[in-house]
């Protein structure tokens, strides 16, 4: 399973990357939507983790772009408190995990998508 993490804060990107690696999950960690675009054009990604604070215009653009061009790609919003966020952004994501939560809750949500994935036929 391959995860794309889009997170502006470098220390959170590093933490998430370490946790995903420890859970034997492959990941690409990027800071911007442009970098995410490059990854999605050339790599097979199973889940996107989109880190947002208070949603900026770029965050909303990224989320809308992901849903428009990759409608079946699950998106986990890793964000501030859900009660304080605009409801429109919450509806576009598949799952919401608060940044104040323990990182293992993010892994639990990612693993749930892994269980729903169809088996892939691997050929030599």
Specify the pLDDT at position 121.
42
pLDDT 10s digits, 23-52: 999 999 999 999 999 999 999 999 999 988
pTM attached to this predicted model: 0.84
Which run of H or of E encompasses 4?
A: strand 2-6
Q: Kindly indicate the confidence band of residue 122, based on its pLDDT and cuts at 50, 70 and 90.
A: very low
Whether residue 85 is predicted with pLDDT greater than 60 in this model: the reply is no
Q: What is the pLDDT of residues 103-116, one digit of tens each?
A: 888 888 888 887 77
DSSP reduced 3-state for 101:
coil
CB hemisphere CA count around 123 (13 angstroms): 0
Q: Kindly provide the b/e burial profile for residues 93-110, where b requires at least 16 CB atoms within 10 angstroms of the residue's own CB.
A: bebbbbbeeeeeebbebb
């Amino acid at each position: 399973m391959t995860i794309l993490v889009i997170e502006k804060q470098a220390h959170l990107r590093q933490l998430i990357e370490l946790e995903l690696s420890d859970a034997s999950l492959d990941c690409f960690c990027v800071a911007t939507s442009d970098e995410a675009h490059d990854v999605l054009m050339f790599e097979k990604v199973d889940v996107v983790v989109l880190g947002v604070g208070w949603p900026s215009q770029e965050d909303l653009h990224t989320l809308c772009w992901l849903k428009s061009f990759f409608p079946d790609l699950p998106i986990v919003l890793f964000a501030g408190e859900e009660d304080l966020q605009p409801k429109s952004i919450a509806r576009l994501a598949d799952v919401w995990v608060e940044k104040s939560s323990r990182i293992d809750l993010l892994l639990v949500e990612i693993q749930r998508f892994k269980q729903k994935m169809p088996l892939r036929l691997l050929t030599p």
